[in-house]
């Protein structure tokens, strides 16, 4: 079995977010609040040992991932791989316009958001395929690296990856976590950080739930799982690959849209 952790963070607040303007792929920077949120997320994650970092190539995600890594005590100098497949959904003519205008456009077309696709925008299926493509390539990368490094199977460096996550995430509450205490269960082969966007993340998580049958913690229902992440909301998944070719991974959701770094609370979803 090969296991890896996937931590997904939404970018910090922008002026468009605050004013409820459709952002899409408009390259809007973080607001002052957004920079503070990114720094707070960085402090929260500062002891987590990430092995790979990916980010959308838009400015707000670049600034967010920089704010997170700047606070890291263990992977400050890790190279970020910017990937256009992690970009927000493209909203075409609706970009830069108020959310209320998008809803009016959808109503005029006899449809509802988010199913409605504005002229020049991406369909939900197109966004889903971008997410699936990124995730498939990521899995191939981790499996290839794990195969090249026998040390992973012995748990030497991987135990510290899991330990660093367990300090702040409820790993013990993960569905099927009983097996995690089994000595036959290997440590994590990698710990991946991804910084992306609200609608994109919702689409990716829908793929996890619908296509890959992602298991949810008992404290989380499907409607909460399919809501849109708040700015710098943090979600954690454990991805498992059994031995064998062309087998879909199993995914366990540890927590969704964690906001402890913003409100100082301990409640997780």
Q: Please tell me which residue in 28, 88, 122, 162 is annotated as part of the active site.
A: 88
60 is in an annotated binding site: yes
Residue 70 sits at φ, ψ, to 5 deg, of -60, -30
17 is in an annotated binding site: yes
Q: Which residue is it, tokens 């957004």?
A: 34
- CA distance linking residue 259 with residue 41, whole number of Å: 9
Q: Which helix (H) or strand (E) holds 7?
A: strand 2-10
Q: What beta strand segments (E) does 95-249 contain?
A: 188-196, 234-241
Q: Please tell me which residue in 11, 52, 197, 261 is annotated as part of the active site.
A: 11
The answer for residues whose C-beta is within 8 angstroms of residue 182's C-beta and 6 or more apart is: none
- CA distance linking residue 35 with residue 12, whole number of Å: 7
- In the residue annotation, 66 being an active-site residue is answered as no
91 is in an annotated binding site: yes
Q: What is the largest CA-CA distance in the chain?
A: 59
103 is in an annotated binding site: no
Parallel/antiparallel/unpaired status of strands 250-258 and 234-241 = antiparallel
Q: Which residue is it, tokens 């503070």?
A: 36
Q: How would you class 221 by CB atoms within 10 Å of its CB: exposed for 0-12, middle for 13-18, buried for 19 or more?
A: exposed
DSSP 97: S
88 is in an annotated binding site: yes
15 is in an annotated binding site: yes
Of 43, 51, 71, the residue nearest 187 (C-alpha): 51
Q: Three-state SS for 132?
A: helix
- In the residue annotation, 167 being an active-site residue is answered as no
- Which residues form the catalytic set? 11, 88
Residue list for the binding site for substrate: 10-17, 60, 88-91
Binding annotation:
10-17, 60, 88-91
């Amino acid at each position: 079995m090969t296991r890896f952790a996937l931590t997904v963070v939404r970018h910090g607040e922008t002026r468009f977010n605050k004013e409820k303007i459709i952002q899409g792929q408009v390259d809007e920077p973080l607001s002052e609040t957004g920079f503070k949120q990114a720094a707070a997320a960085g402090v929260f994650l500062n002891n987590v040992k990430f092995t790979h970092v990916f980010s959308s190539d838009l400015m707000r995600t670049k600034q967010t991932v920089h704010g997170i890594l700047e606070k890291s005590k263990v992977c400050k100098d890790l190279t970020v791989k910017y990937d256009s497949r992690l970009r927000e959904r493209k909203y075409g003519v609706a970009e830069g316009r108020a959310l209320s205008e998008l809803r009016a456009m959808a109503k005029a077309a006899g449809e509802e958001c988010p199913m409605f696709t504005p002229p020049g925008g991406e369909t939900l299926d197109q966004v889903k395929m971008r997410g699936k493509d990124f995730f498939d390539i990521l899995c191939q990368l981790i499996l290839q690296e794990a195969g090249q490094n026998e040390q992973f199977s012995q748990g030497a460096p991987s135990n510290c990856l899991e330990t660093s996550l367990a300090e702040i995430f409820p790993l013990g509450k993960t569905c099927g976590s009983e097996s995690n205490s089994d000595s036959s269960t290997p440590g994590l082969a990698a710990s991946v950080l991804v910084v992306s966007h609200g609608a994109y993340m919702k689409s990716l998580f829908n793929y996890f739930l619908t296509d890959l049958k992602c298991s949810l913690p008992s404290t989380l229902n499907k409607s909460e799982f399919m809501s849109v992440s708040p700015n710098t909301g943090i979600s954690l998944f454990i991805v498992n690959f059994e031995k064998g070719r062309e087998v879909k991974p199993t995914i366990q959701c540890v927590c969704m849209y964690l906001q402890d770094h913003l409100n100082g609370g301990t409640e997780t979803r």
